[in-house]
Every structure is written in structure tokens, then in C-alpha cells.
Amino acid sequence: MVTDNRHRSTTQSDVAKEVGVSRTLVSFAFRGAPGVSDETKQAIFDAAKRLGYRPNAVAADLARKHRSAVGLYLMDIRNEVYADILSGVRTALHEQSNRLILSVSRSTDGEDQGALKSLMEAHVGIVIAATLLDSDEQVRELARSVPLISVTRPVEGVDSVYSDDAAGARAATEHLINLGHTRIAHLAGPVYDGHTVRRQSYAKTMRDAGLKPLVLAAEDFTQDAGQRATAELLGMADRPTAIFAHNDQLALGAREAAYAQDLSVPGELSLVGYDNSRVAALHGIDLTSVDLHAAELGLIAGTIALDRLRNPEAPVADRCLTTELVMRASTAPPA
Amino acid sequence: MVTDNRHRSTTQSDVAKEVGVSRTLVSFAFRGAPGVSDETKQAIFDAAKRLGYRPNAVAADLARKHRSAVGLYLMDIRNEVYADILSGVRTALHEQSNRLILSVSRSTDGEDQGALKSLMEAHVGIVIAATLLDSDEQVRELARSVPLISVTRPVEGVDSVYSDDAAGARAATEHLINLGHTRIAHLAGPVYDGHTVRRQSYAKTMRDAGLKPLVLAAEDFTQDAGQRATAELLGMADRPTAIFAHNDQLALGAREAAYAQDLSVPGELSLVGYDNSRVAALHGIDLTSVDLHAAELGLIAGTIALDRLRNPEAPVADRCLTTELVMRASTAPPA
DNA sequence: ATGAAAGCGCTAACAG
DNA sequence: CTGTTAGCGCTTTCAT
């Protein structure tokens, strides 16, 4: 049995013709607009079903002369943070009948451009972007053509929802310092403008405590990159006794690298991640991590999106959430 | 500094007016079509930049009278399998200039309808759906209005790419049987038509070995559901010594439930998952799991999509990949 | 090399 | 209740 994949899809006209009414009636019927007799409506739905008709939301939005869809850009689909943000956004948009269109970048490279650009050209009224790696200036430039909400990171002059990373990184670093560690490394991702808050807060906290910062930059934000970078680090003469990683994935990579060299966690290496993803809580992983309230970030971003859609002239939003250090068994005093 | 979020976005007409040429030229310039003098082209790009113009890909596709975008539906963004499928699809579409639009369902409930429907109404030429929970009949019905590729699961009469779940489930079950287990439970998700292959293969394998199948259905496919369901199971008088879970998330939930009752894995409970996700390979998790080659599933689906777009009349595709049992430390002989 | 005009699938006044 | 008409932002003949 072969499904019939017609080349041209059925339109309102086809349905109208089939029933013997005008396109307008079909349009009204499908939008539940008042002013269509029940019989006509029924006849229309029947014919539509028979013909396999699907409304074309995109054409509708075009005709409506305004962009109602919201676009959501996610930097890394493998990082649970972004799933949480998505779920928050969706909650905010719930029942608002706004279409949500998604786009995710390839986690392996830092070029947002492809995925983000295609989203901005998809006739969306606003795009919620989590996380942009471009410079502040570039983000502002992007926001010039389509309203943009930067989530996870503040950008002056652009609606932003983020968490207090300086505080989060400080808490993580201080936790390690208080435990008695002195050689504490920071496992960062690649350097991007506007993406150095955690790193700098770590460095400042170290210096304030009279300790020497040691920053290691992984090639990207994935577990594999974290593992590779850490493997090097652990080969050093005076290897650190603790690592604070930019995110849980990197931390998990560091953990693998440690075990690969028969170093136990936290016995010989203490580990702190960032994101507090579900895997961090798994028995046997028990990764100490900083929670940045991703779902709430998404929820707020969704709310702002709705506001912005309604009122383009509203003042720029800037919402900063707190972070929370969740202590687990991956950190302990140095041996 | 407040970014200027104009209500009406700039169009080709605006650019044309600014430069003092016709819309046609702007259109040509942006598509790199021949027949526009270099000076004109430059003037157009300058004006576009100045005005913050963004092409509207959706309107373009509409005008082009054919649907070039491919829609990708993912059942669960928290399950790595779907990230792998996405990455495979993207590889296939690479350089094909086909827009990819994504839609993911809420992992918590089984209603594909919202996310899938909106995808089908987004003017896409084809939708790749991973995973549909609807009945075969419903899927065929859906495929009537927009060409559909079912991935992860075969549907007669509809392009399908999937792996040999019967073999995968059999291998998993036999592995446990060969280890000497006799009380082996299967931790399944909720029952959906066309989604019972693993379960049935498990049951058949058990019966063939003279053992009694015990199927437990979790409320959904998440770790939490797996944990709740397993907690009950482990409370039973004659509790099983091994569990084969429908996917890694459920298996991870089972693992948590076991540790919560101070049962060690694999000492007192052997565990087999399905998907071979990255977390399964983590040191200390070491979950034995069935690999279904998700990235390749996506790659093939993407290729089929391209073919189907080119040739709507091509015969229905049906591709079945092998599965592979990856043995790790979560399985051992019963105590 | 450039422009005018028709039309994609749909909505939205405005008439009957 | 129902139909006509004029677009939305863009592409695409077909002229000039």
C-alpha cells in the first residue's frame, strides 16, 4: 500500500470547490469564526478530511500581517539546561496559541550563525536565544532586525534573562577553598566575548584568597572536550587537587579523565560542575554543582517574549536570578 | 541604549525604495541570481544593512510554490537518542540548503498532537517523526496530508527507518538468562499501539526459555517514572534479580530505586538499558545497554527525506538497522 | 540590466 | 450567513 504523496498539497480553495462555497467560508470555519452555519461547517470539515487538507499556518500568519510565532534557539541540545529552558518557555507560552519554532546549533562548533539566522528568517515575531556566543555588539546588531531575548547572558540594550554567574562561580570556588584546597583549576570552554563571567569570578575569588588561578580552556562545552583538556591537566607536575568546571558536561569529562588515570573523586580530585543537571544527582556520580534555575529562566523569557510581542516599545527587560550551590559527594578536603 | 524594535519589519520593498530600484532587483541580488550589475548589488546590500533587512524565508518558500523545508519532530528532548537522530538528519541535509525546523513534544505526556500538528502546518515539505506514539492507522492518516518519515518505528505504507528492536530486546533478555537469572522483569513505558516490539520480544524470549515474563509499565519514558515503577517492583515478595528496561532513562530510574533500597547493582540487581546513551558509559554507571545506532537512523531518514522531496512517487522506503548489545558492569550472575 | 504584473495560501474588511 | 476584493513578502515569467 503506497501512501499518496501528492506534489501540490490541498488548499482552502480545493475544499471550497469540493463543497461549493467560497474560500472565505472555509477560512472562517477552520478558525472557528462566527458566521458559518452548522451545516456548512460540517460539510467543510467533511470535505477537508476527505481531501487530507491541512491549514497552512505560515501563510495565515503572513496574511494576518503580523508575526505571532516565537522562535527558540538552543545552543546545545545535549545539555539538559536547554531542555529545562525549553520547558519553561513552553509553560509561559501555554494556551497563548503562539506557535513555537525551535532551532538548535551543533554543539561542536561555536557558530550560531546557521541555526540562528534561519530562525530569524522564519517569520517569527521574536526570538529567544539561549545561549548566544557572539559579542554584545553582534547580539545588538542581530536584535536590530528581529526582537531578541538573550537568555543565560546579559546584553546591554537587549532583553536579557540570566542568572548571577559571578555569585555562582564565587560560591563554587569558595566552597573548594574552604575545604582546604589551594591548587584549584577552572575548566572553561573556549573564550567568547561576554562569556567570561564564571571564569573571571573564579579568578578574582582565587586572587582574593591569595591563590593563583589556573584556567584551562576546553575546545568546546562537551564532555569529550572536558575529558581531553583534563587529561592534560592531570599530567602536570603539580596537578590541582580540585577542579571547578564551567558546566556539568565538562565536569563529567574531567571525572572520566580522573578515573582513567586511577584518581578517585573526591579522594584525589574534587570536582564542582555547573547547571545541576539530572545526571549530577545520580547515585555514584553525586556531582556538586551550581544550579542556575534554567526552567525559571525559560519561563521568564517566555513571559517577556509575550510582553514584547504585545508592546514593542516597552523598556528593555533585565532579569537576573540567583544561583545555588548544591553540595554532593564529589567534593572533599584535599588528601 | 534601547534597541529599536519596530513593529513592522523591513521588506524588500523598503530596500528597493531606499535604493531607488524595483523589488525584483533586490530579490535577485539576495539570491545571487545573475543579471544585477555589481554597483546595484552593492547599493542594495548597503541599504539592506542600514535598514536591518532580513529576508523572509517563509514568504519566499510560499512564493516559490513548493515546500522545501523539512520538519523534524522529536518525542523527548531529554533522551540523547533524539539528539543523535537530529545530528544524523542534519548531516544528511548539510549543504542542501534545506531549512530544518524542529519541534519537540513534552516528554511527560504521550500526546504528540500539539507539537506534531504545528509542524505539519508550518509549510514543510516533509516531516521526519521520531518517535510517533500513535497507532499505525493514525500515522498513515497523518501522512496523507504531509509526507512523513517514521523513524524508530516501522509503519506499513509509510517511509520508515528503524532498528531491529525484536533482536535487540532478545539479545538483552538472553544475556540476562545466560547469566543465570530466572526472575527477569521488563520495565516498559506506557502501552501504545505499534510500540510493543521490545516488550513482546522480551516476553517471547522468556517463554522460549521456560521462564515467566513480568512486565511493568511506567507512566512515561522518564527516569522518574522508571524509579517510581521500580520502587514498587522491588517491594515484591519474590523480587526479580534482573531488570531489562525499555530505555536508558527508565534503567537509570530503576538504578536509583535499587540504591534507595540499599540494593547494589549488579550485586543484587542486574540492569540492562536500551539506547546506549552517553551516560550509560560513565564510570560508576557502566550500564549494559542496547545500541540502536540513532545517528545512522537520522542520517538515513534525512537522505530519504531528500529523495522523497525530489520524487514524491518513489516507492515507500523501509530500512531496518541492526542493534548491538553493549555489555558493561551493570549485569552479573545472580547472587 | 531592469521593471511590471501575476500569483503562492491565506486573512480581513466590506458588501450583499 | 455568504461572497468579493485587496493585500502579506516574496518569486517568477515576460517585457522593455
Question: Does the pLDDT value for residue A107 go beyond 80?
Answer: no
Helix A23-31, helix A38-51: angle, nearest 10: 90
Closest CA to A168 of A296, A323, A297: A323
Please report, in angstroms and rounded to a whole number, the separation of the first and last CA atoms in chain A. 69
> Using a CB-CB distance cutoff of 8 angstroms, which residues of chain B are in contact with residue A315?
2
Q: Which residue has the higher pLDDT, A272 or A98?
A: A272
Question: Does the pLDDT value for residue A334 go beyond 70?
Answer: yes
Smallest Cα distance from B207 to chain A, Å: 34
Separation between the CA of B32 and the C1’ of D15 (whole angstroms): 22
Separation between the CA of A23 and the C1’ of D9 (whole angstroms): 21
Class of the domain covering B70-163+293-322: alpha beta
Question: Does the pLDDT value for residue A200 go beyond 50?
Answer: yes
CA B109 and chain centroid, separation: 15
| Same fold across A12-55 and A70-163+293-322 | no
**Cβ pairs A/B, distance under 8 A:** 156
**What stretches of A109-247 show up as alpha helix (H) in DSSP?**
113-120, 136-145, 165-178, 197-208, 223-235
**H/E stretch holding B231:** helix B223-235
Please report, in angstroms and rounded to a whole number, the separation of the first and last CA atoms in chain B. 69
B53 and A3 within 8 Å at the Cβ level: the answer is no
Closest CA to B215 of B177, B182, B253, B243: B243
Q: pTM, whole model, 2 decimals?
A: 0.94
Q: pLDDT value at position A109?
A: 53
- What average pLDDT score do residues A114-120 get? 90
Task: Identify residue B49 by its one-letter amino acid code.
Answer: K
On chain C, which bases lie within 7 A of the protein's CB atoms?
1-5, 7-13
Span A12-55: which CATH code?
1.10.260.40
Rounded percentage of chain A residues whose pLDDT exceeds 90: 80
Where is average pLDDT lowest: A190-204, A216-230, B102-116, B186-200? B102-116
Q: pLDDT value at position A4?
A: 37
Q: Tell me which CATH homologous superfamily contains domain A165-291.
A: Response regulator (3.40.50.2300)
Residues within 8 A of B (CB atoms), A 89-118 only:
90, 99-104, 106, 118
CB proximity B3 to A under 8 Å: yes
Per residue in A3-49, pLDDT (tens digit) is 333 457 899 999 998 899 989 999 999 988 787 888 888 899 999 99
Q: Are A103 and A71 in contact (CB under 8 A)?
A: yes
Local confidence band at A108 (pLDDT 50, 70, 90 cut-offs): low
Q: How many helices and strands (H and E) does chain B possess?
A: 12, 12
On chain D, which bases lie within 7 A of the protein's CB atoms?
1-5, 7-13
A284 and B284 within 8 Å at the Cβ level: the answer is yes
Q: pLDDT value at position B4?
A: 37
> Using a CB-CB distance cutoff of 8 angstroms, which residues of chain B are in contact with residue A9?
67, 145-146
A316 and B2 within 8 Å at the Cβ level: the answer is yes
Q: pLDDT value at position A111?
A: 53
Nearest C-alpha in B relative to A76: B83
Nearest protein residue to the C1' atom of D6, measured from CA = A63
Task: Identify residue B40 by its one-letter amino acid code.
Answer: T
Question: Does the pLDDT value for residue A97 go beyond 80?
Answer: no
Closest CA to A146 of A314, A328, A305: A305
Smallest Cα distance from A237 to chain B, Å: 25
Local confidence band at A2 (pLDDT 50, 70, 90 cut-offs): very low
Q: DSSP letters along A16-43, please?
A: HHHHTS-HHHHHHHHHT-S---HHHHHH
Is residue B17 packed enough to be buried (19+ CB in 10 Å), middle (13-18) or exposed (0-12)? Answer: middle
Cα–Cα distance list, A4 to A48, A51, A143, B127 (Å): 16, 11, 43, 15
CB proximity A136 to B under 8 Å: no
- Please state, in angstroms and rounded to a whole number, the distance separating the CA atoms of residues A24 and B187: 52
Nearest C-alpha in A relative to B279: A279
Interface test with B, best of A119, A275, A282 (most B CBs within 10 A): A282
Other residues' Cβ atoms within 10 Å of the Cβ of residue A67 = 22
Give me the torsion for CA of B84, B90, B91, B93, rounded to 10°. 150
Domain map of chain A by residue range?
A: 12-55, 70-163+293-322, 165-291
B144 and A4 within 8 Å at the Cβ level: the answer is yes
Rounded percentage of chain A residues whose pLDDT exceeds 70: 96
Q: pLDDT value at position A39?
A: 87
A282 and B157 within 8 Å at the Cβ level: the answer is no
Separation between the CA of A241 and the C1’ of D7 (whole angstroms): 68
Local confidence band at A1 (pLDDT 50, 70, 90 cut-offs): very low
**H/E stretch holding B327:** none
Cα–Cα distance list, A106 to A65, A100, B89 (Å): 33, 20, 12
Q: Which of B1, B122, B312 sits opposite A5 (nearest CB)?
A: B312
Cα–Cα distance list, A325 to A128, A208, A293 (Å): 26, 20, 11
B3 and A278 within 8 Å at the Cβ level: the answer is no
- What average pLDDT score do residues A117-143 get? 94
Q: pLDDT value at position A6?
A: 40
> Using a CB-CB distance cutoff of 8 angstroms, which residues of chain B are in contact with residue A67?
9
- What average pLDDT score do residues A222-232 get? 96
Smallest Cα distance from B176 to chain A, Å: 23
Q: pLDDT value at position A194?
A: 81
B86 and A101 within 8 Å at the Cβ level: the answer is no
Q: pLDDT value at position A35?
A: 79
Ranges of chain B whose pLDDT falls below 50: 1-6
Per residue in B285-307, pLDDT (tens digit) is 999 999 999 999 999 999 999 99
Separation between the CA of A256 and the C1’ of D15 (whole angstroms): 69
CB proximity B62 to A under 8 Å: yes
